[in-house]
Amino acid sequence: MLWTVVRELGPLLTAIIIIARSSSASASELAAMKVHGELNALRQMGIDPMDYLIVPRIAGITLSVMAVTFYFQMIAIVFGIGFTSLTHGIPFAGTLASVVSLLSLGEVLASFFKTLSFGLVISITSCYYGLRAPLSATAIPQAATAAVMRNLLTIFFLDGLITYAVFL
């Protein structure tokens, strides 16, 4: 269970959750801002939309993917050990100590690299599809759908690629 949560399940499930929630919202909001002329208004005021809108989104989504993955992994491991302790009568503290010794630095770094990669891909792709939307009200949901679908495909491909490169 430990290797499944740290290597695969933690980074992948949290990336899917962030894609469903934040990727669609970010792409929709940027597409709506483009359609309603807000990006041009920012440029006319001398504010670069890249610095004001895109860079904070990339940093925020990337950091949130990393934080949510960490919390998911810790909660899954602790509750898994707690459930095992309750059902099989195994001491909780001893099992928790053995979990720490089972994880290698390479596995933790691979999980961190996956999470960082997923966060960057999700944020950049969402911003790209939001800014790429044509000037039409019907383009807003299309941009959100395109961002979500592209993110899902990219994350699954990237997950397999990183897993193959690191663990096989």
Quickly state the pLDDT bin for 45 (edges 50, 70, 90). very high
Domain segments of the chain: what residues?
2-167
The predicted structure's pLDDT at residue 147? 96
* pLDDT, tens digit (0-9, with 9 covering 90-100), for 49-74: 999 999 999 999 999 999 999 999 99
Q: How far apart are CA 147 and CA 28, in angstroms?
A: 9
Q: What is the pLDDT of residues 82-101, one digit of tens each?
A: 888 888 888 888 777 777 78
CB 130 within 8 A of CB 143: yes
* Confidence (pLDDT) at 168: 77
| pLDDT of residue 6 exceeding 90 | no
Q: pLDDT tens, 8-25?
A: 899 999 999 999 999 999
Q: Is the pLDDT of residue 40 over 80?
A: yes
Q: What is the pTM of this model?
A: 0.89
Question: Rounded to an integer, what distance in angstroms lies between the CA atom of residue 152 and that of residue 113?
Answer: 18
Q: Report how far apart, in Å, the C-alpha atoms of 48 and of each of 38, 55, 60, 105 are.
A: 12, 11, 18, 41
Taking residues 141-161, what's their average pLDDT? 96
